[in-house]
A and B are shown apart, each in its own frame.
Chain A
């Protein structure tokens, strides 16, 4: 059974940093592209970014709203995906989901909540 479990969310002050993790199981993690998607409270879904698999050199793509502030990385030996978030702003407050980037986003985690507030 495919499972994605996010962690690392919490309350952070504007300008602060946070690192989210997503641990995968039930599939060959290293073969797959992985994505982060977020959802502000009461709002729609926003794609944050993607990291490709090793065969594609772990290259990344980002939404303009986070480019230069957020970094996606992965450790295939740990079946883990990461989202390093720097210079956080109040508008980054959201539930953050990791998703497997296969056939669109076929599996999602349950999400981890990030709140940026003073």
Chain B
């Protein structure tokens, strides 16, 4: 199985900051990677697919990059509604696997 790791596991940031989260796959997955945002008590929301493509309706402040084994999610100009947990997920091969999550909270 492909193992996904994320760093950092948590971070504190100010409103207006730019933050970057890194996701690594234990083997190459080309660009078969998605990013999700989850707020407490809510279902995950898809932000990005194919490593860098924005889901419909997702603001352009979110961006993704990378291929192979290393990927990043960048959030520009952090707003109060962006404080959440972010997960990466690979769909390059079965079983699909998620990273452990990165919790972004307010400094």
Residues of A within 8 A of B (CB): 35, 37, 44-47, 50, 61-64, 97, 103-111
Contact = CB atoms under 8 A, between A and B. Distances in A.
A69 B50 CA distance: 31
Contacts of B96: 35, 47, 50
Contact of A46 (B46, B94, B98): B98
Contacts of B94: 50, 61
The 9 closest A-B pairs by CB, nearest first: A104-B34, A104-B49, A47-B96, A103-B49, A108-B43, A45-B98, A63-B95, A61-B94, A106-B46
A108 B33 CA distance: 17
A17 B56 CA distance: 37
Contacts, number: 61
B18 interface: no
B97 interface: yes
Interface of B: 1, 33-34, 36, 38, 43-46, 48-50, 53, 55-56, 87, 89, 91, 94-101
Nearest to A61: B94
Given A45-B36, A103-B53, A104-B89, A61 B44 contact: no
Contact of A106 (B49, B87, B95, B99): B49
13 contacts: A37-B44, A44-B101, A45-B38, A45-B101, A47-B98, A63-B95, A97-B43, A103-B49, A103-B50, A104-B34, A104-B48, A105-B44, A105-B46
B90 to A, nearest CB: 10
